[in-house]
Chains A and B, each alone.
Chain A
Amino acid sequence: MRNFILFIRRFFNLILFLGLEIVCIVLIEHTNTLQGNDIVSSANAVAGIVYKKQSDVVYYFGLRKMNDSLLNENATLRKKLDLLHSVDTLKDSVVHISITSNDTTKHVVKYADYLYQTARVINNSTNASDNYITINRGYNDGVSKNMAVLSGTGIVGRVEHVSAHFASVLSVLSAKLKVSAKLKDGTNGFVVWDEKGADILTMIDVPQQISVKKGDTIYTNNFSLYFPPDIMIGTVIKTEVEKKKGMQIISLLSSTNFHKLQYVYVVDNKMAMEKKQLEDSTGKSK
């Protein structure tokens, strides 16, 4: 026993060192799983408050830009609204079919149910290899893990850690996030990020024979559990053919400006749980 105590006293520093390193490694291990820890993340109350204070100061410098982006977004939304309203007056008879909630034949996507919430970005990083964004909404506002986050112009990321008043969002600028996407003609693929800069994304798994032109738009598709369909991701700037796999690698210019994020939308897909359960039960989940 005495020897044991002597041993501990002699190597106390080494033991403490090894203990702390093991704690660190356990922490690192845990974040790489989906249900990582919320304490050591910027969703933590202290970090959240510091970032909030900073954002309160920096906020005023970006008001003009934000105004412009909101105006642009309004314009696009108005355009879409007009497309839905306008009636071709040259046709003789306008048939107006009212859609009831029982109507299942006209609408292919009946059970899409998304809830949009606004949130302010209080911290943003674009230069790590996994980038996170902190927003000022937490589970008190109904934000939970794995909700999609969009900006006015495109996709942003997925909620990863949530506390009472803050949440940290894993941005698309991360090796951990893979978004299923489609080309204009409906070809599906995946969008990933390979650290080429904060505005360049890469689309993979597109077959070689599909012709992709510079300037084509890429959208999210219906497969994703979190992202609503037909949200713009970016425009094509370059295509390459990967000889080995016979697939194309498409470089995209992201439609979201990750340097200047101020407001985002948190999207809750109410059907995500049901869809995931069904897919898990068939064993073909993605």
Chain B
Amino acid sequence: MNVFIKNILRFTVILLLQVLILNKITLRWWSEPSGFPIFIPYVYPLFILLLPFETPVWALLILGFIMGISVDTFMNTAGMHACAAVLIAYLRTNVLSALLPRNLSEYSGQHPSIKSMGWMPFLVYSTFLILLHHFVFFGIELWNFSNFGALLLKVCVSAVTSMLFIIVYLLLFTRQNTARI
């Protein structure tokens, strides 16, 4: 499949998944009345994480912005998601080149995935960027750093949950090449 069509499809699937299903899920880890704030898993940064290796940074930025602003439109958070998404789109290349053994230009025609990078590097890559994304997003949403511990707790807990959903998504939507020889 053409890489453009593939990514447009992925954009639509991830956006609808985020907006129509995940936004309706309310999660809380323990339910005392004054306990932990409720949160929802954010899977849409995965679209930015999975763009091909050779995507230029300006394209990453613009695609990240479009993804963020679409989620913002659906969630009435004007700009908050876009802000976090643009940041991780900008840092993506640096994180990738720090993690991969070879130069990025040598991976032509591939995109970051468990198959092309291996489990550990991919998990480190996505966890780092997801944590950063959540930190920026919840920071902007709360905009009150007097209770920094609670903010960090919320970021960590929802990043772990988002990562679980991301791994489930990857396991579901990665084609198993070993099955057909």
In the bound complex, residues from chain A placing their C-beta under 8 Å from that of B34 are: 196
> What distance in Å separates the Cβ of A26 from its nearest Cβ neighbour in chain B?
8
Contact residue among A20, A36, A54 (Cβ-Cβ distance under 8 Å from B78): A36
**Is A125 touching B75 in the complex (CB atoms < 8 A)?**
yes
Q: In the complex where A13-B57, A50-B19, A50-B74 touch, is A21 in contact with B39 (Cβ < 8 A)?
A: no
Q: Is A70 an interface residue when CB atoms closer than 8 A count as contact? A: no
In A187-208, which residues have CB < 8 Å from any B CB?
195-198, 200
Interface size of B by Cβ–Cβ distance < 8 Å?
Answer: 35
> What distance in Å separates the Cβ of B157 from its nearest Cβ neighbour in chain A?
14
In the bound complex, residues from chain A placing their C-beta under 8 Å from that of B68 are: 24
Annotate B76-90 by CB proximity to A: 1 below 8 A, 0 otherwise: 111110110011001
CA distance A65 to B25 in the complex (A): 20
> What distance in Å separates the Cβ of A258 from its nearest Cβ neighbour in chain B?
11
In the bound complex, residues from chain A placing their C-beta under 8 Å from that of B33 are: 196-197, 200
**Is B74 touching A16 in the complex (CB atoms < 8 A)?**
no
In the bound complex, residues from chain B placing their C-beta under 8 Å from that of A37 are: 78
Instruction: Count A-B pairs with CB separation below 8 Å.
Output: 99
**Is B78 touching A12 in the complex (CB atoms < 8 A)?**
no
In the bound complex, residues from chain A placing their C-beta under 8 Å from that of B142 are: 129
**Is B37 touching A195 in the complex (CB atoms < 8 A)?**
yes
Contact residue among A21, A44, A51, A196 (Cβ-Cβ distance under 8 Å from B83): A21
In the bound complex, residues from chain A placing their C-beta under 8 Å from that of B23 are: 125
Contact residue among A31, A44, A127, A195 (Cβ-Cβ distance under 8 Å from B40): A127
Q: Would you give 18 A-B contacts (Cβ < 8 Å), ordered by A?
A: A20-B62, A21-B83, A23-B79, A27-B79, A28-B83, A31-B77, A31-B79, A40-B72, A40-B73, A42-B73, A50-B74, A51-B74, A125-B75, A127-B39, A130-B76, A132-B75, A195-B38, A200-B33
Q: Spell out B's residues near A (CB within 8 Å).
A: 16, 19-20, 23, 26, 33-34, 37-40, 57-58, 61-62, 65, 68-69, 72-80, 82-83, 86-87, 90, 140-142
Assuming A21-B83, A27-B82, A28-B78, what are 10 further A-B pairs, CB within 8 angstroms? A13-B58, A20-B65, A27-B72, A28-B79, A31-B78, A40-B79, A42-B74, A50-B20, A50-B74, A168-B76
